[in-house]
Amino acid sequence: MRLVIARCVVDYVGRLTAHLPLATRLIIFKADGSVSVHADDRAFKPLNWMNPPCKLREETVDEGPDVWTVTHSKSGEKLVLTVEEVMHDTSHELGKDPGLQKDGVEAHLQELLAEHITTLGDGYTLIRREYPTAIGPVDILCRDGASSTVAVELKRRGDIDGVEQLTRYLELLNRDPTLAPVRGVFAAQEIKPQARVLAEDRGIACVVLDYDELRGIEPDTLRLF
């Protein structure tokens, strides 16, 4: 991974055009060929980016700013960085990432919900757990009572990052004509208010799970029936 902090102008040239005026930004070049441009806000979201496969050409100009052009190998679209000043430029070998390891409770939640999939509603049936995609496995893929495909993302504590993760899965799954249309369910023991607002705005249903109830443990509180 190469990390560059530079004062630059950024222009995206393709089916759509976008312009970022001169400012100090972080530019990330990843080993998979992707390039993303970040400001010091917006959490993890880049200002602009280019997905792989793409190629970088760096042109050094004697007088005037350098020009770095990232060209997508298939579409020909370009991300052009006009670099006025480089403040930091370093590369690191990160190696292969082992991937996200779910903790015991989260993994058990997935197992229990798959076993009791009708917790999500009458008529639900399981397709499979850990449904593979190009960007990682979907926790649970199932069908609802109307035989529509549903992708479920499970968390102990549901926050905005979990909603963003499920959104990416849904975008990918809905490209598969054998599955589409695919809707999402964000399930967790606790869902933060901001995550719920974002999920509902994107048409994603939220479900709060009771771990003990899924395990078949009766609550301590007395009930009339």
Which pLDDT belongs to residue 201? 95
Task: Tell whether 123 and 184 lie within a shared domain.
Answer: yes
Question: Cα angle at 121 between 116 and 126, to 5 degrees?
Answer: 50
Rounded CA gap, 212 and 217, in Å?
5
Domain count, the chain: 2
> Mean per-residue pLDDT for 83-107?
79
Whether residue 131 lies inside any domain: the answer is yes
Whether residue 38 lies inside any domain: the answer is yes
Residue for token pair 């990416």? 168
pTM for the complete prediction? 0.53
What dihedral angle (degrees, nearest 10) is formed by the CA atoms of 173, 166, 92, 43?
140
Q: State the CATH number of the domain containing residue 207.
A: 3.40.1350.10
- Choose one of 41, 60, 91: the last residue of a domain: 91
- Choose one of 23, 57, 91: the last residue of a domain: 91
Task: Tell whether 173 and 211 lie within a shared domain.
Answer: yes
Which helix (H) or strand (E) segment holds residue 195: the answer is helix 193-201
8 Å CB contact between 209 and 115: no
8 Å CB contact between 130 and 99: no
Which pLDDT belongs to residue 220? 42
Q: State the CATH number of the domain containing residue 70.
A: 2.70.180.20
- Domain hosting 15: range is 2-91
> Mean per-residue pLDDT for 66-93?
94
* Predicted confidence band of residue 131 (pLDDT cuts 50, 70, 90): very high
**Of 146 and 64, more confident:** 146
Rounded CA gap, 152 and 158, in Å?
12
| DSSP-derived 3-state class of residue 130 | strand
- Choose one of 41, 70, 91: the last residue of a domain: 91
* Predicted confidence band of residue 85 (pLDDT cuts 50, 70, 90): very high
Give pLDDT tens digits for 160-218.
999 999 999 999 999 999 999 999 999 999 999 999 999 999 999 999 988 778 777 44
Question: Cα angle at 130 between 142 and 93, to 5 degrees?
Answer: 145
Which helix (H) or strand (E) segment holds residue 207: the answer is strand 205-208
DSSP-derived pairing of the beta strands 18-29 and 2-13: antiparallel
Task: Tell whether 69 and 130 lie within a shared domain.
Answer: no
